[in-house]
Amino acid sequence: MMKKKMISSAISVTCVALALAGCGTDGKSSSGTPAASTPEASKPSGEPTKLVISTWANDDFTNKEVIVPFEKKFNAKVVFEIGNNAERLNKVQQGSSAVDVLFLSDYFTQQAIDAGVIDKIDAAKLTNLNQLYDIAKAPLGADYGPAYTVNQLGIAYNPKLVKTEIKSWKDLWSPELAKKLTLPGITTTSGPMMIDAASLIAGNSTFNEDQAFAKLKELNPSVVKYYGKTADFVTMFAQGEVAAGPFMDSYFKDLQAGVPDAKFVTPQEGGYAVMNTINVVKGSKNKQLAEELINWYLSKEVQEKVAKAKITSPTNKEVKLTDEEAKGLTYGADVINKLRKLDVKFVNDNLKKWTDRWNRELAQ
């Protein structure tokens, strides 16, 4: 891992909107929905309990198939606060919202933990936790919430503009990609992953900052633009301004809309894991109900529904998808087993220094 090493190479597995979860590993109601984990929760009475969820969006499918059944099961009324990671975390830190459950990417979750706004979770109440791939069970430590979805950073390219098949991170340094390449900027989620990949391609088994930046400087002349948003990549790719670059699989369908022949590759060294987590906000008056929601999102039933709707990739290893259903998702032990995971605490601790160095040496 990217502690002082930055990554652990391939991650072993035993067992990158909303999606996933359920309650009870063995019990189900006669309708097939996840069973409640406490007698009180399964016998709702009186006025519904308001539960405030802070997340990116509330799409119609998730609301109908995930939220409404949860509300009925637990006599709850779910209220949403919508926005990006930074603005939503800022509101929680300032105490200007009454959030109970916080959905964040792993980078921002670590910031929330460091800021002391995340409550420790009672893993014993998450009866679906053992159904998850190991990488998703406790991505930021056993005291904190699981990952309900995992995506990967790989490489996307246009085979009409790149004749040589791309198979490895080192292929980004190919002369064929000169003036055809885009890379994520350092302030994006995947920026630090490129620093790690550069260290890897420089021949290091443990992270070496100086060699990583030296390798990125070699690549710099090939870069048309360092992109700050996924939409920038999609636009440049569709217009033929760039032919390849690191890209998140969860947005690949957007690339294909403009370039139907586009290919997405999991590099032979492994793609990089990007995980979204669910946590209880410290001070929530509804911690038990909040943990029921987390468990609900982890269930096979809910995760399978949302995966088949192409909303998020499942972290529940019991979810079974056909090849067609799995297209565009990070799915299956054969893929997840290869994912590389950055130590996000190490990243957050060093990000300012790396950003300054990136701006001095690369973004000129």
pLDDT tier at 289, thresholds 50, 70, 90: very high
pLDDT of residue 282 exceeding 90, the answer is yes
3-state secondary structure of 255: helix
pLDDT of residue 243 exceeding 60, the answer is yes
- Alpha carbon distance 322, 326 (integer Å): 6
pLDDT tier at 13, thresholds 50, 70, 90: very low
Q: What is the pLDDT of residue 330?
A: 93
pLDDT of residue 42 exceeding 80, the answer is no
Percent with pLDDT over 90 in the chain = 79
Q: How far are the Cα atoms of 218, 219, 264 from residue 224, in angstroms, in the given order?
A: 14, 11, 20
pLDDT of residue 24 exceeding 50, the answer is no
Q: What is the pLDDT of residue 187?
A: 86
pLDDT tier at 68, thresholds 50, 70, 90: very high
The sign one gets for the Cα dihedral 89, 95, 98, 100 is: positive
Distant-in-sequence, close-in-space partners of 184: CB < 8 Å, separation ≥ 6: 190, 191, 193, 194, 226, 227, 245, 246
Average pLDDT, the chain: 88
pTM for the full model? 0.78
Q: What is the pLDDT of residue 188?
A: 87
What mean pLDDT comes out for the span 254-277?
94
**H-type alpha helices, the chain:** 60-62, 68-74, 85-94, 106-114, 134-137, 191-201, 209-219, 230-238, 252-258, 287-298, 300-308, 323-326, 333-336, 344-361
What mean pLDDT comes out for the span 229-242?
95
Q: Can you list the domains of the chain with their CATH numbers? A: 13-150+274-330 (3.40.190.10), 151-272+344-361 (3.40.190.10)
Which amino acid belongs to residue 102? L
In 3D, which of 194, 329, 198, 347 has the Cα closest to residue 253?
329
What mean pLDDT comes out for the span 10-25?
36
- Between strands 223-227 and 181-184, the pairing is parallel
In this structure, the number of other CB atoms found within 10 A of the CB of residue 353 comes to: 10
pLDDT tier at 327, thresholds 50, 70, 90: confident
What mean pLDDT comes out for the span 178-197?
94
pLDDT of residue 184 exceeding 70, the answer is yes
